[in-house]
């Protein structure tokens, strides 16, 4: 899917960042996989682990659009990208691990960035890449949307967690009374 996006956007580059991409053998293997899809190695930017949190977050300044991984979605990276103003395109899957992106994007009101199939994921990325004004607007507004979303409402989360724990305790107590 990422190769299809790169084929459709001949000036685009793909940044891959992980501890694994610091390994030359991993980089060569990834370059080979992309080469099989017609993507030249020069269009792939590999980043190893970054020593500081500040530097880690600064890498997002090099990214216009984040492509969520699938079938196992990112969580922290999705939130970090949004915090840094980078829109994330997620592919909705069938199980929890493949729906985290859907949950996070929905919590921030970014449902337009959720694809239901791989073709839709490619189409969203290509469309968004051609909309520089929209990308600029998203970059300016996304941190504020995230900051005010229920996703970042710690007090509400704590109240909801307390309520759920209280309900579980009451259920357990009722079950204990019945068994006596």
> Which tens digits make up the pLDDT trace of 50-84?
889 999 999 999 999 999 999 999 999 999 999 99
- Rounded to two decimals, the pTM is 0.84
- 150 band by pLDDT with thresholds 50, 70 and 90: confident
Averaged pLDDT, 85-106: 95
Burial string for 52-91 (b: 16+ CB within 10 Å, else e) reads eeeeeeeebeebbbbbbebeebbeebbbbbbebbbbbbbb
pLDDT at 49: 86
173 sits in which H/E element: helix 154-179
Task: Give CA–CA dist 180/159, Å, rounded.
Answer: 32
Gap between the Cα atoms of 80 and 100, Å rounded: 14
pLDDT at residue 57, as a whole number? 96
| The pLDDT value given to residue 50 | 87
Does the pLDDT at position 180 exceed 80?
A: no
Tell me: pLDDT of 101 over 80.
yes
The per-residue pLDDT of the chain, averaged, comes to 95
């Amino acid at each position: 899917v990422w190769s299809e996006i790169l084929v459709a956007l001949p000036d685009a580059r793909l940044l891959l960042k992980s501890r694994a991409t610091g390994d030359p053998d991993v980089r060569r293997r990834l370059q080979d996989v992309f080469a099989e899809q017609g993507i030249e190695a020069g269009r792939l930017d590999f980043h190893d682990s970054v020593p500081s949190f500040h530097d880690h977050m600064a890498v997002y300044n090099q990214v216009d659009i984040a492509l969520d991984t699938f079938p196992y979605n990112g969580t922290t990276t999705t939130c970090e990208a949004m915090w840094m103003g980078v829109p994330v395109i997620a592919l909705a899957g069938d199980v929890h691990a493949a729906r985290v992106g859907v949950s996070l994007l929905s919590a921030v009101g970014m449902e337009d960035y959720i694809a239901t199939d791989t073709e839709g994921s490619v189409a969203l990325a290509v469309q968004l890449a051609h909309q520089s004004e929209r990308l600029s607007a998203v970059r300016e507004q996304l941190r504020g949307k995230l900051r005010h979303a229920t996703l970042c409402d710690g007090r509400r989360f704590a109240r909801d967690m307390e309520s759920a724990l209280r309900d579980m305790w009451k259920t357990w107590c009722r079950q204990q009374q019945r068994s006596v």
